[in-house]
Structure 1
């Protein structure tokens, strides 16, 4: 993507973009789209703690990670079902959300209300059967907090940002809990503030993109100003870099030829700087699209992962 494309007016992009279409495939296609498969990319965070601990190459650990990845996909889908059923009227007023399966009438509201809780209970039961009670507790807290967010705290200033960001933090924690791996305090802080950066950046982008109309489709934005959200995402990205640095320098180097963990700070920092370009331009409303479609971010991400893995395994 060229610099001119990144710096293009968000409103102009919104005006020229082809409007979304209702999901194809009838009811089944609508149910699949409602589960947001594209959002499942966030669940790769469950591999973070085992990777950082250098135990991702153990089959028992990898198996637990694969289990919890699938479980979190089910849990997240249950939340999307319930959230979209609850927000169906406001979604119908949104220029893009009105094409969501429930808002467009492809999936009946009552069916979503039934399937959402069923999937939520299934994810907790599977956590107990396939992993352990600690994992089930985290999955249950994840579901409970996001349900509370949808029903009660979506419009509570600051608390709404914290509750959405907690979803990323729970993902980062649960892989370690499922595999009985101790979690570093710096790892948790990096995951927490990195999550806040993503969430605040998304809200900021929505305000830049839609202007005064933003509060009509997401009422919580009426409680914030653009300058405040800019302060939050800038503060959180700075803390993320700081805590990652402390974490990288805290990991034993062993007999590695180079300090790969410390060197990984370079691509890690540039990934955040590159993503911040989209946030500042107001085009980071869909973080997963930004991350997956920007070749520079993908390349830097692979460079970071390679360096980190080399450091973890003392190459």
Structure 2
């Protein structure tokens, strides 16, 4: 496809950027949107800072708790939908607890980062001591509510999520490869919790798809950070000093390949019932093209904030809805 053809297929606000030698690859022209500008310091004083510190944009990740009930065809049941909604809220609490603790621990490094320096704690809007206090409270509250509102298995998943992510903040973020696995596990815990909350069985292909899809997102984020900041990236994320851009490229390319493979096996394993069309298999089309679209951002080094990419790219949003529609049609045997 020619450059002009690629340009015409994208949204008007997208521009051409060149992946230079810093990307560890031959100079090439790729299509991607302009990098997101550094956010302004939080408005609204302390309350606004606390809200921004909780990362509301990141809560979009928690929709993964609905994945297992949807795949099981049980999301239309009141009990299952209610428990899935509870898990969404509890993961918002748990994830916000981790962000409070992480930003309090990384405050000095964040102040050296071109965009993270505007985070509430690094900019001085939220006191460090307050974040250290609220973080553990939110984490414990999420686990306790998991027991009271769902079941012990759900509380165990939430507890493991909180404990492992706190360990990541303090230590594992500096361990090569393990740091990628730890972050990716957060997505996997979300997917698992949606099933455990309603005591639904979880397909091994579903879990593998969630796990390697998460690894793709994490490796793509790290790759983008290195492309954006170059040698300075290691100053704000120490583990990046042990990675090369070519290695991270290998990881996200391997991860997306395994994700598409396991999703294919999962889609062909699910019974189609009396459906007139093989909707689960057809869902592979928008699913695959969504990954190809997102990979454009990763390859160009502009996927450092996955939530911004996923929420602002109209084509990705459209592909997501197309995937959801075909999958739902398969689940309910239309």
Structure 1 residue 8: Cα displacement: 2.2
| CA shift in 2, pair 1:285/1:244, >3 Å | same
Q: Distance in 2 between matches of 1:232 and 1:10?
A: 18
Give the C-alpha shift of residue 18 in structure 1: 4.5
Q: How does 1:141-180 map to 2 (within 5 A)?
A: 141-180=160-199
- Match of residue 72 from structure 1: 91
Give yes or no for the alignment of 1:302 onto 2:321: yes
Q: TM-score, normalised by structure 2?
A: 0.91
User: Could you state the TM-score of these two structures normalised by the residue count of structure 1?
Assistant: 0.97
2:81 matches 1:81: no
Which runs of structure 2 are paired with 1:273-312 in the superposition (5 Å)? 273-312=292-331
Q: Specify the alignment match of 1:5 in structure 2.
A: 14
- 1:139 matches 2:158: yes
Measure the CA separation in 1 of the matches of 2:120 and 2:214. Answer: 27
Alpha-carbon spacing, 1:252–1:19, altered in 2? closer, same or farther (3 Å): closer
Helix, strand or coil at the partner of 2:17: coil
Matches within 5 A, 1:96-135: 96-135=115-154
Of Structure 1 and Structure 2, the greater helix share is in 1
**Distance change >3 Å, CA 227–CA 18, structure 1 → 2:** closer
Runs of 4+ in 1 over 6 A off after TM superposition: none
User: Where does structure 1 lack aligned partners over 5 or more consecutive residues?
Assistant: none
Q: Distance in 2 between matches of 1:241 and 1:258?
A: 21
Residues 6 and 278, structure 1, Cα contact 8 Å, conserved in 2: no
Is 1:241 the counterpart of 2:260? The answer is yes
Aligned residue-pair number: 313
TM-superposed CA distance for 1:212, in Å, is 1.0
What residue ranges of structure 2 are gaps of 5+ in the alignment? 1-9, 21-32
| RMSD between superposed Cα atoms in Å | 1.5
Q: Residue in 2 aligned with 1:20?
A: 39
